Amino acid sequence: MSDLPRILIVDDSRVVRVSLTRHLQGHFDIREEGDGEAAWQTLVLDHSIRAVISDLRMPKLNGYELLERLRLSKLRRLQQMPFILVSGEETEEERARACALGVSDFVTKGAGSAEILARLNHLLALSSAQEGLEAGRQRLVQDPESGLYSRKYLELQAAQAMAHAARHGGAVSALVVGFDGYPALVERLGERGAAELAVGVARQLAAKMRREDSLGHFADGEFAIICQGTPAAFAATFAERVRQAVAAARVNTPGAPVALSVSIGLASQPVDAADTAAALLDLAGARMRQAMALGGNRVDAGGVRPASQAMSVRQALELIAAGQPAAVLPHLSALGFQLLPLLQLMNRELGSNLPLAEFEHRLSERKNQ
């Protein structure tokens, strides 16, 4: 295949197509179509086409209609593709219509090679510059491989949330989540394998977050979450749920399942003295590293106690299966009352004689204690 940029020439006159091709040979890879409808199908399917040179009056779909389809397309590459109309005897009103539809330039019929090449090269250089700016802007927002937000974008989100909280008296919390023993994961799975594993777990967490919260990269094996409008105590509760969920997970990898755990650092305004978004995230990161240094699989919230929150039966079963029954014990009474109606139904339907009255009495005593 040619390394030259591919250009689509659209004209119902073969003579015109041959003439334009002669001007562009050696500088561009040329593809031809004889009507606007065929050109549209080609543009949708052939992603290598960089620009279009089209006649105005053609069968099936004229130059105006083809241009309008491109500019209204849902495909960004077609929306922004350079489009040159071959100008003949059209009126000023027709030229104005083409400009309103988003034509990139005009070339007159009979123009020489130098003029056509100059216009095409100028438009392609401009298009490449715009693509580069867009790619750079996108990299500031999202990591191209994982699709998660970048740290720079998270700082921007945190700054906006802090400004809103300062005006309206709200709170902002930042969590930094780091995988314990990440270097060992890298040694076992390789850098790419470990990164994919961490991103996979992070995506599962993202699916359970509020829409107004943001999750993204912080460092290798580390992720940050910005919780807008969330006071420190409730953010600490969320952090504990995240820690428990990861600890209860069993991730399959080549060789054997991997048991994972995370350490989480939490910083929050107005509780902590962090007056910038970067400072808030750095404080959360420092607390995460402190939690790791103390053995990992824990949350450091800077002394903030989690707000009380009920545990579901499903969460309890996952923790027990993961060998962490101690995490379930504080919620045992509430879980027992959740299960009591089911036990009563089973007792009745199976004709059993379970001492459920005694069971309920013991649950009540434990709750009061």
Number of domains in the chain: 3
Residues 160 and 262 in one domain: yes
Q: 248 lies in a domain? A: yes
Helices marked H in the chain — which ranges?
Answer: 14-24, 36-45, 63-72, 76-79, 92-101, 113-141, 151-168, 182-206, 232-248, 277-293, 313-321, 332-349, 356-368
Residue 135 reports pLDDT greater than 60: no
Residues 161 and 228 in one domain: yes
Q: What mean pLDDT do residues 3-26 have?
A: 86
Residues 167 and 24 in one domain: no
Residues 254 and 343 in one domain: no
Residues 131 and 185 in one domain: no
Q: Choose the final residue of a domain: 114, 141, 168.
A: 141
**Confidence band of 140 (pLDDT split at 50, 70, 90):** very low
Residues 76 and 168 in one domain: no
pTM attached to this predicted model:
0.52
> What is the rounded distance in angstroms from the CA atom of residue 198 to the CA atom of residue 220?
9
187: domain CATH number?
A: 3.30.70.270
Q: What is the residue range of 99's domain?
A: 6-141
Residues 289 and 360 in one domain: no
For 221-262, the pLDDT digits (tens) are 999 999 988 888 889 988 998 898 888 877 766 667 778 899
Please name which of 160, 176, 299, 149 lies closest in space to residue 229, comparing C-alpha atoms: 160
Q: 236 lies in a domain? A: yes
